Each structure stands twice: as C-alpha cells, then as structure tokens.
Amino acid sequence: MQHPPSADDFAYALENTRLIVAPRGRIATFGSTTFHFQLITELMDCVDDVRIREGSMHADRPQILAPEGLARLLLEGFGEKAHEFADQFAERLRASGQKLPAALRYGFHFRRSEVRETLVRGESIDSVSDRLGALAEAANDPLRAVVQGVDDAWEGCLLKFTLDLIGTSATGNLGDLRGRGLL
C-alpha cells in the first residue's frame, strides 16, 4: 500500500514539474474553460518504466472579489476576534482614503476518477516526453498541455501546472475586465 505524499514529497514535486507543451489558450474571462493534460512520470522503482496520466481540468470563470469579499474569504475559519480586527483595519483604510484593489478568484475542478493511466515499459521518460510533446504540437489543440513530473506526488505537479496557468491568464483576464468597465 502506498503512503500519502509528505510535505517534502509535495515540495519535490513542485520543484520538479516541467512543462513540455504549454497550452496556447488561457483561462476564459467570461466562461469556463477545459484544459486537457498528459502528465508523464517515471516509476520510482523501475528503470525505463513511465506512467502517463491523461485527464481534464475545468476552470471556472474568474470571479471578481471586492476587497471586502477577499478579506472574508481569507478569514474563513478564523474566530470572531480576527473578524473584528479585519473590520477595524478596513475602517482605518476607508478613513485614510486608501483602497485595496479587487482580486480575481479562480476555481478549478479536477476529478481523479476521470484520469486514465497508461504504463510504458522500456522507454525513458525523456523519450516519452519528446514523443507526446510532438504529438500534442501536431494536434494543434490550444487547450492541451503535456507536463513532466514525479510519480508519488503527481497531484502536486498538476497543482503547479494550475498555478502557472493562473499566472499566465491573470493579466489577460484583468485586461478583459477593465475593457468592459468591470474593474
């Protein structure tokens, strides 16, 4: 039986996630987006055995959070004293004329049950990555990604991919929202 990944396993996964083919598309500003991924990992106890996980991640439309909503979200799970402090802080900001900027909240859905796994025996991880990367490029799907990572904490690799995707999408999403006068 395999143990759940430790914090060190997770950190290792984040550090060793490499994007082979990045999606050319970004998270849609005014609708949901589905990205397809192939995650390639090397089995830890077998030389030249590679696992390919294929699945989808569904990104919800980014939501605009006013500063007050962001504060409430960040304080979820905190006690009454923390909420009182946040209210006092917000009142001081209003009195000083300062404003906190709005933020975007991204939501993703990933269903582990929808991930398909394939084992490739007798081929190096680099060879499999090169082959799948070339196939993904040829498919010309703007919402496809090929990611190389580690097997034990593979979900951490998907998290890293997701955070990077948010980072590359946020500027365009903010521009779209400003262009429509929503920010």
For 13-30, how does the pLDDT look when each residue is reduced to its tens digit (9 = 90+)? 889 999 999 999 898 989
Q: Tokens in use for 116?
A: 């398909």
Residue 66: CB atoms within 10 Å: 12
For 76-100, how does the pLDDT look when each residue is reduced to its tens digit (9 = 90+)? 656 676 666 667 666 766 777 766 5
Assess contact for 31 and 175: CB atoms under 8 A: no
Find residue 51's DSSP bridge partners: 41, 119
What pTM value is reported for the model?
0.77
Question: CA 115 to CA 130: how far, in whole Å?
Answer: 21
- The confidence score (pLDDT) of residue 7 equals 78
Which helix H or strand E contains 96, and what residues bound it?
helix 80-96
Q: Tokens in use for 58?
A: 């569904």
**What is the per-residue DSSP string for 109-154?**
EE-GGG-EEEEEES--HHHHHHHHHHHHHHHT-TTEEEEEEESTTH
